Amino acid sequence: MTLRGKIASVALSDTGKVREHNEDMISAEADIGLFVLADGMGGYNAGEVASGIAVKTIVNLVRDAVARENLSARDPETGLSRRSIVLRDAIHRANKIIYHTSRTQPQCEGMGTTVVACLFHDNKISIAHVGDSRLYRLRENRFEQLTLDHSLLQELVDRGFYSQQEAQRATNKNYVTRALGVEQNVDVEINEDAVQKSDYYVLCSDGLSDMIEDEDIHLTISTFSANLETVAKQLIQLSNDNGGRDNISVVMAHITEPFPAQRRIFDKILGWFG
């Protein structure tokens, strides 16, 4: 089932004011409901290689799975939907490729990348992330972060050393505790949630979230909500106005119509007696 016409989207990336080149990589595959953002790190151009491998691998594997499989089913062992498992497995595969490349190509030694990705299906969203790239949601004027950073700072917040407000003003934000390509295996955090018409979803690199407070992201979306591209451009401009110390990437999805999965008649009949 194509989601064309159900989700409006935009994906923009900017080098920022300090970095010489852009190591972020983004993709918006609205027809299959897949949105991916990766923030690379390590070595000249190597971060760019890592983020590129991550996004290309995830998009290719998920697109192939969507074409072949019924992603409405749930895995009996984990309770996760097939779409969540496909997304998780694609990120695991990307991790293995980046890890192998960093150890076999001298120019790529030490590279890695964070990643945040979401996959929409059947009026639901699967969210997968590793590192401190984030996903936010705006629903009925409530703006909230749906991912928790895999970072030293977030661990200190969890342990009560910082409040969330203090954390936003902290200077040591960028010590991530998980990233793709660092170890042979990686722990991918997966969440699932229901989707409502008119929801806005924002994926961003820390080049945005470090430069702009959540309240300003919320205000920008609310102010320019009629045009997603304007929202994304304004967010990048605000980040640059505040210093632009890192690459800045924004991927946005706006739910314009519901997208329930098409049920086969056999499934419907079973549902009547379930």
pLDDT in tens, 143-201: 999 999 987 666 655 566 566 665 566 555 667 889 999 999 999 999 999 999 999 99
Q: What is the pTM of this model?
A: 0.90
pLDDT in tens, 23-82: 999 999 999 999 999 999 975 569 999 999 999 999 999 999 998 877 667 778 788 899
CATH code at 104? Answer: 3.60.40.10
Position 268 pLDDT exceeds 60: no
Domain span at residue 12 reads 7-261
* 34 contacts 119 by C-beta, under 8 angstroms: yes
Angle at 213 between CA 209 and CA 219, to 5 degrees: 110
Cα–Cα distance measured from residue 205 to residue 27, given in angstroms and rounded to the nearest whole number: 13
Q: Is residue 250 situated within a structural domain?
A: yes
In the chain, the number of structural domains is 1
Q: How far is CA 110 from CA 48, 96, 113, 171, in A?
A: 12, 14, 10, 24
Q: Is residue 273 situated within a structural domain?
A: no
Q: Is residue 270 situated within a structural domain?
A: no
Q: At what angle do helices 82-104 and 46-68 cross, to 10 degrees?
A: 150
Q: Is residue 105 situated within a structural domain?
A: yes
Expressed in angstroms, the distance from the first to the final Cα of the chain is 25
Q: Is residue 267 situated within a structural domain?
A: no
Q: Is residue 269 situated within a structural domain?
A: no
Q: Is residue 229 situated within a structural domain?
A: yes
Closest by CA to 25, choosing from 253, 237, 249, is 249
- Say what the pLDDT of residue 44 is: 58
Please tell me the least confidently modeled range out of 74-88, 117-131, 193-207: 74-88
